[in-house]
Amino acid sequence: MMDIKKKVVEKFNAELGTDLKNLNKIIHLHEQLTEERKGIEQSLSLASTEAPSKIKAAVAGVEQISNEIDEIVNACEALQKNIAKQLQQNSKTVEVQQHIDKIGDLDKALSYLHLIKFIENTSDQIEASLSAKDDELTITLYTNLTETSCQLQSSTCHHLANYVRDLLHFWHNHLKDKLAMEYNEILKALHWPFCGSQAHAISFLASSYNPQVMLRFKVLTEYLFQLQLPEETMKPSVKSTLLTDFQPVSLPIVILIRPLRQRFIFHFTGAKQTNRQDKPEWFFTQVLTWIKDHAQWIHKNVQPVADSLGFTHVNAKVEFMRGLVQLAVEKLHSELPVVQYDDGLFAHLVDEALGFERELRESLFYPQNQPATVFVLTQAHIFVKWINMEKKYATEKMDAILNSETAWEMLSGPDVDDMKVTECAEAFLTLLMTITDRYNHLPQPGHRLQFLELQLELIDDWRVRLLQLLHEDYEDPLNSIMPRILNTLHYVSTVLIEWGTTVHFLQLHFFKKQFESVESATDKVLMPENAAEEDGSVFEDAVALLQRLEKKLVNEISNSVTLEVKAKSRPYRTDKWFAMQSDKEIASLSVTPSGCPMFQELAARLHALHETLALPLFNQAWRNLATQLDQYLLEEVVTVNQFNIGGSAQFQFDITRNLFSLFGLYTSKPESYFPLTREACILLNMLLGSAMLLLESLERDENTTEVLEDIGIYRMSAETCITVLKNRTDIITQ
Q: What is the pLDDT of residues 650-699, one digit of tens each?
A: 999 999 999 999 999 999 999 999 999 999 999 999 999 999 999 998 88
pLDDT of amino acid 545: 95
* 194 CB-near residues (< 8 Å, 6+ apart): 202, 205, 293, 294, 297
Task: Dump the DSSP string for 339-363.
Answer: HTT-HHHHHHHHHHHHHHHHIIIII
> With bands split at pLDDT 50, 70 and 90, how would you rate the model's confidence at 20?
low
pLDDT of amino acid 533: 46
Q: What is the CATH number of the domain that holds 610?
A: 1.20.58
To the nearest whole percent, how much of the chain has pLDDT over 90?
50
Beta strands, E only, 553-682: none
Same structural domain for residues 262 and 359? Answer: yes
> With bands split at pLDDT 50, 70 and 90, how would you rate the model's confidence at 23?
low
Q: If you average pLDDT over residues 430-440, what whole number do you get?
A: 92
Same structural domain for residues 441 and 313? Answer: no
Q: If you average pLDDT over residues 702-707, what whole number do you get?
A: 81
Same structural domain for residues 601 and 508? Answer: no
Q: In total, how many domains does the chain have?
A: 4
Q: What is the pLDDT of residues 237-261, one digit of tens each?
A: 444 445 556 888 899 999 999 999 9
Same structural domain for residues 391 and 366? Answer: no
pLDDT of amino acid 522: 47
Whether residue 453 is predicted with pLDDT greater than 70 in this model: the reply is yes
pLDDT of amino acid 19: 61
pLDDT of amino acid 204: 46
pLDDT of amino acid 584: 67
The letter for the amino acid at 511 is F
Note down the domain range covering 315.
178-379
**H or E segment to which residue 378 belongs:** none
CA 103 to the chain's CA centroid: 65
* 172 in a structural domain: no
Greater confidence, 546 or 139? 546
Same structural domain for residues 643 and 679? Answer: yes
Q: If you average pLDDT over residues 592-617, what whole number do you get?
A: 93
To the nearest whole percent, how much of the chain has pLDDT over 70?
86
Same structural domain for residues 366 and 423? Answer: no
* 463 in a structural domain: yes
Whether residue 334 is predicted with pLDDT greater than 70 in this model: the reply is yes
* 157 in a structural domain: no
pLDDT of amino acid 21: 59
Whether residue 234 is predicted with pLDDT greater than 90 in this model: the reply is no
Same structural domain for residues 582 and 677? Answer: yes
pLDDT of amino acid 196: 66
> With bands split at pLDDT 50, 70 and 90, how would you rate the model's confidence at 541?
very high
Same structural domain for residues 291 and 427? Answer: no
Whether residue 519 is predicted with pLDDT greater than 80 in this model: the reply is no
Q: What is the pLDDT of residues 61-71, one digit of tens each?
A: 778 887 888 88
pLDDT of amino acid 417: 65
CA distances for 376 relative to 206, 287, 406, 421, angstroms? 38, 17, 39, 39
Greater confidence, 178 or 733? 178
Question: What 8-state DSSP symbol labels residue 231?
Answer: G
Q: If you average pLDDT over residues 277-286, what whole number do you get?
A: 93
Same structural domain for residues 607 and 630? Answer: yes
* 553 in a structural domain: no
CA distance 440 to 233: 37
Contact (Cβ atoms closer than 8 angstroms) between residue 260 and residue 193: yes
> With bands split at pLDDT 50, 70 and 90, how would you rate the model's confidence at 80?
confident
Phi, psi of 319 (to 5 degrees): -65, -40
Same structural domain for residues 375 and 392? Answer: no
Whether residue 367 is predicted with pLDDT greater than 50 in this model: the reply is yes
CA distances for 89 relative to 47, 82, 413, 485, angstroms? 63, 11, 109, 109
**β-bridge mates for residue 728, sequence order:** 643
Coil vs helix vs strand at 127: helix
Whether residue 596 is predicted with pLDDT greater than 80 in this model: the reply is yes
Greater confidence, 44 or 466? 466
> With bands split at pLDDT 50, 70 and 90, how would you rate the model's confidence at 2?
low
* 557 in a structural domain: no
Greater confidence, 106 or 55? 106
* 160 in a structural domain: no
Contact (Cβ atoms closer than 8 angstroms) between residue 186 and residue 222: no
pLDDT of amino acid 33: 77
pTM here? 0.73
* 622 in a structural domain: yes
pLDDT of amino acid 237: 45
CA distance 459 to 496: 10
pLDDT of amino acid 134: 84
Contact (Cβ atoms closer than 8 angstroms) between residue 602 and residue 670: no
Q: What is the CATH number of the domain that holds 542?
A: 1.10.357
Contact (Cβ atoms closer than 8 angstroms) between residue 423 and residue 404: yes
* 62 in a structural domain: no
pLDDT of amino acid 630: 96
Same structural domain for residues 584 and 540? Answer: no
> With bands split at pLDDT 50, 70 and 90, how would you rate the model's confidence at 531?
very low
Average pLDDT, the chain: 85
Handedness of CA 693, 695, 696, 698 (dihedral sign): positive
> With bands split at pLDDT 50, 70 and 90, how would you rate the model's confidence at 293?
very high
Q: What is the pLDDT of residues 146-166, one digit of tens each?
A: 887 787 777 778 787 788 888
Instruction: Of 66-70, 208-212, 713-717, give the lowest mean pLDDT range.
Output: 208-212
Contact (Cβ atoms closer than 8 angstroms) between residue 722 and residue 699: yes
Same structural domain for residues 355 and 278? Answer: yes
